[in-house]
Amino acid sequence: MIVFDLTCDHAHRFELWVPSAEALDQQIAKGWVTCPHCGTQAVRRLPAAPAVHTTPKLQRTSAQQKQASTTSDNPPNLSAQALERIWNTLQKLKREAQDVGTRFPEEARKIHYGEAPLRPIKGQANREEFVSLLEEGILVIPLPPDKEEMH
């Protein structure tokens, strides 16, 4: 997967993980990419710096390790408005995705390896299948149930 930095017409910055630049361009052209901050589809790629490979970092000091673990233990402070936008974006993805049911792992692989057209899909996968897809570099996310399904 490749991480791309994006921005919208309102200057919100965010990143997206996709298999290739071509896949990103296709998703933007089809309106599948929206700003997680404001929901607009008017998004574009930002210039990216090339990856620089360096030698492994020196071992952290105990103070740095403590700060890193403390920071990673605290969840991000998201406002109710930001959470609502995330929820709405996930629901939009669910509405627009093709439901492939239990064939989800198979279809995700076909799309990833270019054997099927690029399109949003949803379906079922057990934990083992989910982990296997991630290990292959196929980005999948569990979707929350609809509000009606939660009550």
Candidate ranges 74-78, 96-100, 143-147; pick with highest mean pLDDT: 96-100
Residues contacting residue 140 through CB under 8 Å, at least 6 positions apart: 108, 125, 130, 133, 134
Structure tokens belonging to residue 24: 């990103």
CA distance linking residue 42 with residue 54, whole number of Å: 36
pLDDT bin (cut points 50, 70, 90) of residue 99 is: very high
Residue that the structure tokens 């009606």 belong to: 148
CA angle, 47 then 118 then 133, to 5°: 90
Domain boundaries in the chain? 1-49+80-96, 98-143
Count of beta carbons in the 10 Å neighbourhood of residue 25: 13
CA distance linking residue 89 with residue 85, whole number of Å: 6
CA distance linking residue 141 with residue 145, whole number of Å: 13
Residues contacting residue 63 through CB under 8 Å, at least 6 positions apart: none
The predicted structure's pLDDT at residue 106: 96
Query: pLDDT digit string (tens) for 124-141?
Result: 999 999 999 999 999 898
pTM value surpassing 0.75: no
Is the CB of residue 52 less than 8 Å from the CB of residue 46?
no
Of all residues in the chain, the percent with pLDDT exceeding 70 is: 77
Query: pLDDT digit string (tens) for 41-89?
Result: 999 988 876 666 565 555 555 555 555 555 555 566 678 888 888 888 8
Query: What DSSP element (H or E) covers 130?
Result: helix 127-135
